[in-house]
Structure 1
């Protein structure tokens, strides 16, 4: 890499920190998307490349296809998680889902990446002993300790508390809360189900204060 200072661009900044798209004002020819979309795609590609380099340097493996989520869904969830509602509706239309569901996919990715998207999409088989151990771990934290806890595939649901834990392909517990009759991702996943349960309860209390 050339160590010389980056040359200034006509619109300000340097070639080392600004995209060439920043110097364009005319819309690109059809069928290319608009400039705002192109800029978002370039920024997302740069972020993805940086993440790949960081993962390679740290020895951490990137999410793989074994997590049972297709690449398009995972990439669109990641893209919307990074860019916000600006591209929410086009992404939802591309996947054939409602904007509300697309927002939840993006929220899941924001909390836990591709494994969280896979965990959100559908129940997966889980070792019954793992679920039983998790239920035992969260029992002292439950506000209604005598109420039944439902185990379904990789889901552990404490309905009276409006808390659900989902065991993901990353072997982490993903906290969910019941909001308006929908189970929604609530916090970052954790290897300890008790920590994940507390995170879900904290998310509910924060919502109640709004």
Structure 2
């Protein structure tokens, strides 16, 4: 009888556990860290890209800084609009650099959130935030991830939290906005990037060739 009662109790406990709702499944936390920059290990999740890969002369670096009160990542370098003499590449423009997250192990699901927030300290330039999602086209011609972009203006020399509603991100193809009606699938995010161009951006912000510097504390998803 005792063995039967023990078996029955174990079965009852397992059933209760299976039927118990996880509160976070019903209502995820109002914010979620996507990336932080607290150690050199955090930098291993990113890689640099810039126009020198295609004959440009821009340079960039990514490092961790100990500011005493905490750590932050620093994307810095120099934007050049020139091309290497005799370059075999044909570029419409040079003068761009960026940092892109490496491939996730699976996807980041941000379907429960509506905003991306960045704690940044900049140089008065306008930067570009890009979200990469799973490709919706199953084609040998179009194998790149889908990209969605929005401008991020970062005031000079002061920490600033930039908040961008996810529905403000526009679909792009190789840096150009696509004139199509598409909706992002925020449950299938495969990567993110931050980049800077010598030209373009929000009118009135710093632009042109020269040095750039962006300090990054964290990137979060918010439910507002």
Structure (1/2) with the larger strand percentage? 2
Same fold, TM-score > 0.5, yes or no = no
**Looking at both structures, which has the greater relative contact order when contacts are Cα pairs under 8 Å and sequence separation is at least 6?**
2
TM normalised by structure 1 equals 0.24
